[in-house]
Amino acid sequence: MARRAIVAANWKMNGDLALVDAMTAGLKTVALQDNVNVVICPSAPYLSSLVTQANVQSLNSAIAVGAQNVSEHESGAYTGEVSTQMLNELSVKFVIIGHSERRSYYKETSTQVAHKVNAALSAGLTPILCIGESEEERATEQTETVLASQLQPVIDEVGIEKFIDVVIAYEPVWAIGTGKTASSEMAQETHQFIRQFLAQANESVAAKVPLLYGGSVNASNCEELFAQADIDGGLIGGASLHVEQFKTICSAAKGK
């Protein structure tokens, strides 16, 4: 089974209805290579509009809609939270879980992230599990220890076999929105470690898990990054707010 490539747009708390319209219209003309999926993750208020516009533009086969977060709870008194059932009702297919901003600003722990991944998988959603180290952790050679500590609770919670339905996004915290980007060699080395770490539990599953790179990916550096053996696409932040630049990034992705 070939490993699919995924380009996921994380709009964060940006964008508006005009961007929903412009992006769906623009993606109608993008040339995707075989075995490539595109996922757009807007803020929650725009999920329904994006699903509707994707239908209008007949993008369903190539473009999926994702959420930026989900609750680990099925329902209840959790003001402001969104459940997996709600996302399913909107035809959302993917959900970003464990982004460094959620871990840092909202104090999400790796245990809570594992619960969210479990909830998403149980509901038939595809989690985009984010992991990554800080600049200080990279400088003190703790990257592999940190990534392992973020992955292991999820493996313990759902079992390695379930990772066949998980996408992992490696985002070095020091490269998110800073303009700094890991060199292609550095990114590949870290992605290779992630795949080898998963392979310790199950080699067959590890070989099939899409690994995305995130951290100031843009139209200029995407091709070199995506050419690396263990980089299967990207989780794109700022560049995903610009239609033409995002189209270029999508076109550079290729399945392996």
Asked if 110 and 155 touch (Cβ cutoff 8 Å), the reply is: no
Q: Which residues are annotated as catalytic?
A: 99, 171
Gyration radius of the chain's alpha carbons = 17
- The residue ranges of the chain whose pLDDT is under 50 are none
pLDDT given for residue 253 in this prediction = 96
Nearest one of 226, 225, 221 to 256, comparing CA atoms:
226
pLDDT given for residue 67 in this prediction = 98
pLDDT given for residue 255 in this prediction = 87
pLDDT given for residue 117 in this prediction = 98
* Element of type H or E holding 233: strand 233-236
pLDDT given for residue 122 in this prediction = 98
pLDDT given for residue 2 in this prediction = 77
- What's the CATH number where 242 sits? 3.20.20.70
pLDDT given for residue 56 in this prediction = 87
Number of domains in the chain: 1
Q: Provide CB contacts within 8 A for 11, sequence distance 6+.
A: 19, 40, 41, 42, 43, 68, 240, 241
pLDDT in tens, 181-239: 778 999 999 999 999 999 999 999 999 999 999 988 999 999 999 999 999 999 999 99
pLDDT given for residue 34 in this prediction = 87
pLDDT given for residue 235 in this prediction = 98
Domain that holds residue 147: 5-252
pLDDT given for residue 233 in this prediction = 97
Angle between helices 110-122 and 143-158 (to 10 degrees): 40
What is the rounded CA–CA span in Å between residue 123 and residue 72? 11
pTM of the model: 0.96
Beta strands of 82-199 (E only): which ranges?
A: 94-97, 126-131, 167-170
